[in-house]
Amino acid sequence: AQNGHDNVCRLILDHGANVNIVDRTGKDALQWAAHNGHIDVCRALLDRGASIESHDHTGKGALHHATQNGHDDICRLLVDRGA
């Protein structure tokens, strides 16, 4: 998700990967995808149940990461999905 490989993300999610698992910083895949501007990955994660309300260890969620990095399209997507 962090690197924008939406096909790989879909493949591992289709094989049972936990969509909401977090790394050592508390970020989940949706937060990384939003941070890095990968809208297709964001859509794939949301379609598979990613938590739109989760926050990392600094208190930032996907919407904050997208906003902070100027990813307007992802901000709209997240708001449309209930953020």
CATH of the domain at 58: 1.25.40.20
Is residue 1 domain-resident? no
Is residue 59 domain-resident? yes
Q: Which pLDDT tens digit goes with each residue over 11-40?
A: 888 888 899 999 999 999 999 999 999 999
User: In terms of residue numbers, what domain contains 18?
Assistant: 6-80
Q: Which pLDDT tens digit goes with each residue over 32-62?
A: 999 999 999 999 999 999 999 999 999 999 9
Cα gap 42→52, rounded to integer Å: 10
pLDDT band at 68 (very low <50, low <70, confident <90, very high): very high
Is residue 72 domain-resident? yes
What are the Cα distances from residue 50, in Å, to 1, 11, 29, 46?
A: 12, 15, 8, 5
Cα gap 22→29, rounded to integer Å: 7
Residue closest to 74 by CA, chosen among 47, 48, 36, 21: 36
Residue closest to 29 by CA, chosen among 18, 72, 15: 18
Is residue 15 domain-resident? yes
The number of folded domains in the chain is 1
